[in-house]
Amino acid sequence: MARLARRVLPLGSAVLCAAYCASLLAGAGEPCCCQCGCGACQKVCRLVREEKTVSITCWGSKCEDFCLGGPSHINCKHVDEVCTICDDPTKCDNVSSKPKKFVWYDWCPSWAKQHTKTKLMKKVVTKKVPSYKWVVEDLCTECQSRLTPIQTAEGDVVPPPPLPYLQR
């Protein structure tokens, strides 16, 4: 296993190094304009408007009526035999058991009183709002001059784009 690792590890490192160098050489050319594709361009900051979805949580309450019963009393006793021996073999599940007495009582309610409870309710509202962000693009001077300013809402203050690195 160790001998195999000593043979494979240098080979894998050489392949990774060659792939990295090839990717550097492929991107070594002059950047091209992202709008027209010409070669003479520079990186420019441009303001882009996007729609952002915001979730707002609203809390409220809801009233719900219910009845609360008073004490009840025993009315009648019932006795039933369950788990009896089966006479019809088609209805039996091949389970053998002894008969058992099942006892229950009827309970008669007395009075009831109506109450109201307040439940906490949650409501989530989603709203789309305008959002702005600066992006870096490769643009030629001709495409820079043709850029139209973005449409902003009334009263929005938009800062000027940052100066290119060479003009600072």
**Do 47 and 126 reside in the same domain of the chain?**
yes
Quote the pLDDT of residue 122: 97
Same domain for 137 and 108, yes or no, is: yes
Rounded Cα–Cα distance for residues 137 and 41 (Å): 10
Q: Are residues 19 and 73 in the same domain?
A: no
Which has the minimum average pLDDT: 9-13, 83-87, 92-96, 135-139? 9-13
26 and 72 together in one domain: no
Supply the pLDDT for residue 1.
52
> Would you say residue 167 has pLDDT above 70?
no
163 domain residue, yes or no:
no
**Average pLDDT, stretch 11-30?**
47
Instruction: Give the mean pLDDT of 133-162.
Output: 76
Tell me, yes or no, whether 16 and 38 share the same domain: no
**How many domains in the chain?**
2
Task: Decide if 39 is inside a domain.
Answer: yes
In a domain, 159, yes or no: no
In sign, the C-alpha dihedral spanning 26, 30, 34, 35 is negative
Share of the chain above pLDDT 70, in %: 67
- pLDDT of residue 17 exceeding 50: no
Q: Does residue 98 surpass a pLDDT of 50?
A: yes
- Same domain? For 6 and 57 the reply is no
Same domain? For 63 and 107 the reply is yes
What pLDDT is recorded for position 28?
Answer: 46
Q: Judge whether 142 and 49 are in contact, CB under 8 Å.
A: no
Residue 158 lies in a domain: no
Same domain, 141 and 110: yes
| Per-residue pLDDT at 16 exceeds 50 | no
Is there a single domain that holds both residue 48 and residue 95? yes
Residue that the structure tokens 């973005």 belong to: 150
* Contact partners, residue 147, CB within 8 Å, separation at least 6: 46, 139
Residue 62 within a domain? yes
How far is Cα of residue 83 from the mean position of the Cα atoms in its chain?
52
Which residue did the predictor score with more confidence, 152 or 134?
134
* DSSP code of residue 167: G
Averaged pLDDT, 142-151: 75
112 or 130, greater pLDDT:
112
Residues 3 and 48 in one domain: no
92 shares its domain with 134: yes
Contact 129, 56 (CB under 8 A): no
Which residues constitute the domain of residue 7?
Answer: 1-30
Question: Which pLDDT band, with edges at 50, 70 and 90, does 45 fall under?
Answer: confident
Asked if residue 38 and residue 11 are part of one domain, the reply reads no
Bigger pLDDT: 145 vs 79: 79
